[in-house]
Amino acid sequence: MASAELPSALILDLDGTLIDAEPVHAEGIARLFADHGITLSDQERAFVIGHAWQEIFAHMRPDERLGLDLEGFKAGAIAAKERMFAAGLEIPVNEGARELVAMATDLAIPTVIVSGSSRREIEHALPHLGFGERLRFYLGCEDYPRGKPAPDGFLAAATRLAVPPARCLVVEDSHAGIAAGLAAGMRVLATSACNPPPGSPGHQDQHLAHRIVSSLAGLGPDDLRALMGAR
């Protein structure tokens, strides 16, 4: 039997996959609530992982609790994070992230980011990642109607790339993101580098992914081919 081909497109999640920014994202939201005298629970902080702003807004109800609409909620939380960055906070880049994108470029695989974060937040991360020029484009939560686990963002990326969903490889860390990739009809690689242990707040069930790796480091072309041929 012939070996599987390389993916025709690589679609990357951002937070928790390329960068360890989920705790920063949750902390920004928590600080916004704290400014209004409300302390978020561990469960609310954990919900941030893998979800887009639309879903976080619906879950945390800042319209009822803070008197903020979606845009005001995003702006307040992003401003809180920007104050953290101004105070010297660095965004950690996950091991192997840069090398994976470099390999995809060398193999002429178009690579994009599809994130539940806003475009502004993606732009914050790109200088830390150092490979923005290698990306075809990136999509934030403003670019599709429903966040993960809905497949909208991934399908929008495939359409823009003119690549069939079945030829796309998604790299994710969250249960919602994995579900979105599968719903889009794509192959899904999960990285557990930022996944808390089972039973811990924020732990993500990744078992539905076609493959789970502890790190993006060391992945090669044969791994990508194998993922495209996985059952």
Quickly list DSSP for 4-57. PPPPSEEEE--BTTTB--HHHHHHHHHHHHHHTT-PPPHHHHHHTTT--HHHHH
Model confidence over 172-181: pLDDT tens digits? 999 999 999 9
Where, residue-wise, is CATH 3.40.50.1000 in the chain? Answer: 9-20+93-229
Class of domain 9-20+93-229: alpha beta
Fold of the domain spanning 22-86: DNA polymerase; domain 1 (1.10.150)
Model confidence over 23-69: pLDDT tens digits? 888 999 999 999 999 999 989 998 988 788 999 999 999 999 999 99
Query: What is the reported pTM?
Result: 0.84
Where, residue-wise, is CATH 1.10.150 in the chain? Answer: 22-86
